[in-house]
Amino acid sequence: MIPIDNFLVLSAILFSLGMYGVLARRNAVLILMSVELMLQAVAINFVAFAVYLYPETFTGVIFAIFVIVIAAAEVGLALAIILRLFRNRQITNVDEADLLKW
Amino acid sequence: MDQAWLIPAIPAAAFVILLIFGPYLPRKGDWLAIAAIGASFILVFPLLADLLDQADGATYVAGERAWEWLSFDLSGVGETFEIEIGFYVDPITIVMLAVVTLVALMVQVYSIAYMKGDSRYGWYFTAMSLFAASMLTLVLANNLLLLYAGWEAVGFCSFLLIGFWWEKRSAAEAAKKAFITTRIGDVGLLIGIIMLWLEGPNTFNIQEIIAFAQEGGYDSTYLTAAVLFMFMGALGKSGQFPLHVWLPDAMEGPTPVSALIHAATMVVAGVYLVARMLPLFEVADPIALDVVLVVGLTTVMISATMGLAATDIKRVIAYSTLNSLGLMFVALGSSAVTAAMLYLFVHGFFKALLFLGAGSVIHATEEQDMNRLGGLAKKMPVTAAMFAIGTLAMIGIIPLSGFWAKDEVLVFANEEQPLIVYLVLLSSLVITGLYMTRLFVRTFLFAPRDQGVYDHAHESGLLITVPLLILGLLATVAGFVVFDEVGEALGFPGGIAQFVFLREAHEFEFHLDTAITSTVLAGGGAVAGWILWQNKAELAASVRDRFAPIATLLANRYYIDEVYQFAIDHIVLGAGTVVAWFDRVVVNDGGVGGSAKIGYLAGFEAKFLQSGRLPNYALAIVSGILLLSIVMLVALV
Amino acid sequence: MTYEEAIFYVIAAVTVAGSLGVVTARNVIHSALFLILALLGVAAVYVLLASEFLAIVQVLVYGGAVTILILFAMMLTRVRDIGGPIDGPQRPFAALAATVFLGTTVLAVTQTEWRGDTDEATVVTINEIGEALFTTWAMPFEIASLVLMVSLVGAIVLARGEEGE
């Protein structure tokens, strides 16, 4: 069988890539997609821990379901905000939305 | 003795009441001030009776009462340190109290007429009450701190009253000058007090300090320095050379003020201080008393000669005050407390008389320049007669009070000091005779020099003449207290020498040789003055023209004021410029502004960290997480 | 290497490749398409983790709804018309941070001693999940549905715009 380490390392790679995307990208939609990658990494971790370490309670699986639910809600809201930002100021790049500085 | 505290407390209460309710009281409360000082005057007598009752043979057990004022726990020293409000009564105190309360009473009665119609009539009596309270506190204080408090308070009152007519620029300037000049001395006094306390028996009590010093508690050099610092205070307050410059200018105040503060009472506080502290001066190096003597002698000579050139009648009397104070310091410098206090006693009366007489003239003519007066004796006979008594007392003509006091000083100077001191004093008598006669002759006799002023003149009212008469009487007879018979008749054990003394009472001796010498010289000076300044004073003018440089030097007061002004302009202001530069550049721009700038720059530069850009914030969060994870990892591995 | 491991590596390679594409593609539409690939890869990972239910949900919610939503948003905001570089100026720092994070995490994973048998995944059946969701987790489940509803209403309100706009 596949050792748990493999899944955890895969999750770490996905998380790092997501982090890179969040930090490097300018476009709000792309950042959102990177955040989704990070969420996927977290979900993989949950499931891996659940099925390998705590199969009797499988809390991690339930958590993964909730993560998916919250991610869906988050995507819906975030895209609405991006849409609003674009309509009001014709921008989708987060570094241009800096009205709140100083 | 238990009621001694009432003597300063009553005028102090009057001051408070006048300050708050003065404007609402009938007659603006002048009656209250006079009643208060009158009560203080009356209270002196039970005090004196107490003191005489407790007399033990020839020594007077001084009464002392004290209440705790402040108490500190000196953790460093390990003992409690207490400051008291205490009163100490001994013959010196009694003499001072008598002079202060009596002259103050006379002056305040006189002021009702003199200050009538003044826009600050009520304030005048308020300030006078404060002065009386402060002066009496100073005199009665049993410890140096209370004495110093009273000392500063009288200086402050003097400032208020010299500048009473502050709308006049010269009055405001004179008030400032008096205050600053005396402050220079006061700093010395404070240093002296601190020095005495620092090495002393952890108390400010004067008698304990004296006892401590007499047991040799202080190092001799240290004690000498301390008493000389204290003497600086006396120097400033009593207008002795070189801090005498303020007293002539102080004549800008109302004339009754000059009579009370700048002749009879406040200026003799310096004499009182030295008399009170004389045991310390004696224990200290002999140089301390020599300094007192030399300062007194210098003041006598320069003031007498400056009096020759002054034309303002009040200034002439001010110079005569300096002259008298100098004589008192000469007496003190010879350890002759009796002579000094006797002179102080009679001087209070005849100098107040002179000032009040001058005030009467000024009140009647609104003129105080001798060159525009003259012949007033016909118009103002009472004032002229009383002024004549004052003049003769000042010159020292037998049997007026000034003669007895001055002769006592001369006797001591003759016995205790080198001949030169005696000779200088004798020569000063001639000059005193000259300028006092000049003052009287130019003001009251011969033809008036300004007909308008003369026509304006009239004899003053009863409120002015009655105090003059009382003071005139006192100025005539006060000197007789030297005689044992007079003293006994008054209830004292003998003459003043058996009442006020430093170590032991002594019999009054009449030194015929000194008396004759001094009378001849003083009378000669007076006669010479009469001859010089009679009629139109052609003789005096010719003398003045012959010695023109000296006359100019005297008229300009030896240029001492100019030297001081130069020093202030160049040294004080120069130092001030440096200090101001330091304050502006280092303290203000560097210290205050600099630290503010640090804060401003820190805030201003730091605000750019707030870019408002989401990625930057995200990076910051990630950096923090990374740092934490690395720390955890290091801890794990 | 077992055949299961071989399958895992293939799936992992596809997922990582998809993710790389998401964060590096120059074209935003390509990014979105890569995201679908990555998400499907993750669904396959769930299968390998013996969680078929999660795999199905993943495909339905992510592969379907979320991706479509993102593509819609891209079209509505005309992202391709916006000029300027697609990456921000802090890309080097981002790469550094991601590398350091990966390093520390992998180190942590390999250094940790996991409890129990770490080689065998236990199958969690749909029955068990359903039962747990509606018994033990009933309250969080309801709250999650509430959150979902609120966020969707909020999204509608935000996206609809002002009257007359």
- Domains of chain C from N-terminus onward: 3-82+124-160 (1.20.120.1200)
What percent of chain B shows pLDDT beyond 70? 96
Helical packing angle, B91-114 and B462-477, nearest 10°: 150
Residue B230, token pair as written in the block: 């204290």
pLDDT of C82 reads: 62
Q: Is the pLDDT of residue C11 over 90?
A: yes
Q: Is the pLDDT of residue C17 over 90?
A: yes
CA dist B304 to B256, B315, B389, B551, Å? 23, 12, 19, 13
pLDDT of B302 reads: 87
- For residues A78 and B356, what is the distance between their CA atoms, to the nearest angstrom? 100
Of the pLDDT bands very low, low, confident and very high (cuts 50, 70, 90), residue B376 is confident
H helix or E strand, kind and range, residue B314: helix B313-333
Nearest partner of B227 among B324, B332, B344, judged by Cα: B332
**Set of chain A residues whose Cβ sits within 8 Å of the Cβ of B613:** 94-95, 98, 101
pLDDT of C18 reads: 93
Mean per-residue pLDDT of chain B:
84
Distance separating the N- and C-terminal Cα atoms of chain A: 56
Nearest chain A residue to C10 by CA: give it.
A10
Q: Which of A16, A20, A22 to substitute to test the interface with B, most B CBs within 10 Å?
A: A22
Q: Is the pLDDT of residue B94 over 90?
A: no
For chain A, what are the domain ranges? Answer: 4-96
Residue with tokens 């224990």: B283
Residue B151, token pair as written in the block: 């000392």
Query: Phi/psi of residue A101, each to 5°?
Result: -75, 160
At B405-447, the pLDDT tens digits run 888 888 888 888 888 888 888 888 888 888 888 888 888 887 7
**Exposure string (b/e) for B58-69, b if CB count within 10 Å is 16 or more?**
eebebbbbbeee
pLDDT of A37 reads: 92
pLDDT of C41 reads: 92
Of the pLDDT bands very low, low, confident and very high (cuts 50, 70, 90), residue B586 is confident
Residue C78, token pair as written in the block: 């005309």
Q: What is the ipTM of this complex?
A: 0.88
SS3 (DSSP) at A2: coil
- For residues A6 and A39, what is the distance between their CA atoms, to the nearest angstrom? 18
pLDDT of B59 reads: 60
pLDDT of B514 reads: 82
SS3 (DSSP) at B239: coil
pLDDT of B189 reads: 92
Stronger pLDDT, B510 or C42, i.e. the higher one: C42
- For residues A32 and A40, what is the distance between their CA atoms, to the nearest angstrom? 12
Chain pair A-B, CB pairs under 8 angstroms: 29
Residue C149, token pair as written in the block: 């509803």
Class of domain A4-96: mainly alpha
pLDDT of C20 reads: 92
pLDDT of B115 reads: 85
Compute the nearest-CA separation of B605 from chain C (Å).
21
pLDDT of B366 reads: 80
- For residues B584 and B469, what is the distance between their CA atoms, to the nearest angstrom? 60
Residue B540, token pair as written in the block: 């005096």
Compute the nearest-CA separation of A71 from chain B (Å).
19
pLDDT of A101 reads: 65
Q: Residues 58..77 of A with a Cβ closer than 8 Å to B: which? A: none
At B188-247, the pLDDT tens digits run 999 999 888 888 787 888 888 888 888 888 888 888 998 999 998 888 888 888 888 888
Taking residues A52-71, what's their average pLDDT?
86
pLDDT of C80 reads: 62
C13 touches chain A (CB under 8 A): no
Q: Is the pLDDT of residue B556 over 80?
A: no
Q: Is the pLDDT of residue C10 over 90?
A: yes
- For residues B446 and B259, what is the distance between their CA atoms, to the nearest angstrom? 27
Residue B118's identity, in one-letter code, is: D
- For residues B200 and B223, what is the distance between their CA atoms, to the nearest angstrom? 10
Residue B14: HSE in the Cβ half-sphere, 13 Å Cα cutoff:
32
Taking residues A55-69, what's their average pLDDT?
87
**Set of chain A residues whose Cβ sits within 8 Å of the Cβ of C113:** none
Nearest partner of B482 among B559, B565, B407, B534, judged by Cα: B407
Nearest partner of B51 among B105, B3, B16, B18, judged by Cα: B3
pLDDT of B308 reads: 82
Q: Residues 559..618 of B with a Cβ closer than 8 Å to C: which? A: 615-616
pTM beyond 0.90:
no
Q: Out of B211-220, B271-280, B549-558, C63-72, which region has the weakest mean confidence (pLDDT)?
A: B549-558
CA dist C95 to A17, B623, C103, Å? 9, 12, 12
At C58-116, the pLDDT tens digits run 898 888 888 888 888 888 877 666 666 778 788 888 899 899 999 988 888 888 877 76
Contacts of B284 (CB under 8 A, 6+ apart): B213, B220, B223, B224, B226, B227
Compute the nearest-CA separation of A60 from chain C (Å).
11
Of the pLDDT bands very low, low, confident and very high (cuts 50, 70, 90), residue B60 is low
CA dist B318 to B292, B352, C54, Å? 21, 11, 114
One DSSP character per residue, B460-518 reads: --HHHHHHHHHHHHHHHHGGGGGSHHHHHHTTSSSSGGGTS-SSS-------HHHHHHH
Taking residues B541-561, what's their average pLDDT?
78
Of B610, B612, B619, the CB nearest to A23: B619
Of the pLDDT bands very low, low, confident and very high (cuts 50, 70, 90), residue B504 is low
Indicate yes or no: CB of A27 within 8 angstroms of CB of C45. no
Q: Is the pLDDT of residue A102 over 60?
A: no
Compute the nearest-CA separation of C55 from chain B (Å).
30
Of the pLDDT bands very low, low, confident and very high (cuts 50, 70, 90), residue B365 is confident
H helix or E strand, kind and range, residue C98: helix C91-111
- For residues B519 and B505, what is the distance between their CA atoms, to the nearest angstrom? 27
pLDDT of A19 reads: 92
Compute the nearest-CA separation of B607 from chain C (Å).
20
A101 touches chain B (CB under 8 A): yes
